Structure 1
Amino acid sequence: MIGKIRISMALGLVVAGSSILVPLQILSMKTGWWPETIILKIWHRMIVRALGMRIHVRGALSDSRPLLVASNHISWTDIMVLGSMVDVKFIARADMEGWPLIGMLSKLQRTVFIERERKRSSGDQASEIASRMAKGDAMVLFAEGSTGDGNMVLPFKSTLFGAASMAISEGAAEQVFIQPLAIVYTRLHGVPLGRRHRPIAAWIGDEDLMPHLKVLMAQGGLDVEVHFGDPVAFSKGSNRKETARLMESQVRDMMRAALADPRPSQ
């Protein structure tokens, strides 16, 4: 019964809020009357509140530009969590563009969609990401190329760091800063999530969105930690594979630290 009440209240908040915020965001994108990220932050914070999430932050988004943020990926909620806190743009799988609600939101925040299986288009996509970074956008790259179950970090794909190399080779920047970021779901209703229950927050593979969304809304009370590491400079002589391994190692260390000693719920 309580779960059904939570779902009804969360859906009511999202529907009512979106009916106001989506037109405002479209107006902002067309006219430039106010920064686009203002409405997006409000929208993301509304979703986070509807889901009953509590966010704990360690570190901060780097002020250095151009900036590529290399993060692990657990669920679509990662985007809501980050978007509620900082001004960033996202790099996402091409198929997300057609998803209900998520696809619409992605377009409204100018997400770059990449087709990882089509090598012909990868150059153009990397060029667009490089251009966006050169213009000052902090771009978030989910470097695993997939979602994990929240218990471990999957190997980072070095090919996804091609945009950093292209930004330099095209003369858009002399160097690109790459910052590691760990997203960790740690508690449910104040109780630490163990290995068995941590996948409650995860959205993996071909799992349908709506059943997963209903579970999150019915449960509520999730704690998520966001850990920002120190950025490293990527320049003309930098090795893409070594950089990917370094980012993966740092994100894994931050995740392990959060799981071993999760912040208390507040």
Structure 2
Amino acid sequence: MRKFISAVIIVFMMSSSYAQNLVNLPFEKPENVEWSGGMKNYFSDIWDTQVNTNVSTPTLEIYKPAPENNTGTAVIIAPGGGLYALSITSEGTEVAQWLKKKGITALVLRYRLVPTAEDGVAEISELSQKNPAKIGEEVGKVIPYSISDGLRAIEYARSNAEDLGIDPKKIGFMGFSAGGAVTMGVAYSYIKSNRPDFLVPVYPWTDAMPVQKPKPDSPPMLIICASDDELGLATGSIDLYNSWYNEKFSVGLHMYSKGGHGFGMRQKDLPSDKWIERFYDWSVSQGITVPVN
């Protein structure tokens, strides 16, 4: 009952403010991926959190800080979920609300996902047990479009900087797990108009987006992960750090000894609970943003 009530409250809150804060991004129609039935928004008992699945139209949900606290900094947030779902609260809207209080404009990106039926979380959970190779096959089809959505999100923020009240030279990209793969896809494929000004991959899924040599003008990056990540993503995070460090780009790494995978804004009574504060400290030290009261 508690989960049902929570889901109803979340849906009500989304429906009351969603339309005025929601932006549809332009996108190209895929040749090899088809969706039906529209986006699903529900509480997943399997993941114990609110999720979005079957996303076929990329959108941005915008969270603006109070004018008196606005720092001009913006962060595009890409939630994780294996490209089959978006963990939309702990890796999306809750992150946005925290940043908003710090004077940072947050834009939650719902990027395109693998087409699924009524319960995408159940589908990926079953495949992980019975046919994990199928997950990689389906992710490989859709991730180029997810990355394209990320690049379009940056273009939107930059071209609408005045209306959004942001500095077009202070637009960052933060992604969690599969959203971290999207983050790195953005990092490896941007052009001048959609170059992110900073990157924050959080336990990035480097199997879906392998570590590559960074571009010559790569922006500063902060990587967040935990050594005990159940998906083994600590190694990829270290490799990603080294790829930036070896090219003498500005890069930081917070590798927590405990935290597991998918901690996001969940409170576990561990140091990893404070990861977003460490991001904020880093962003201030880098001149990406400025402290607010």
Larger relative contact order (C-alpha < 8 A, sep ≥ 6)? 1
* TM-score after normalising by structure 1: 0.35
* TM-score after normalising by structure 2: 0.33
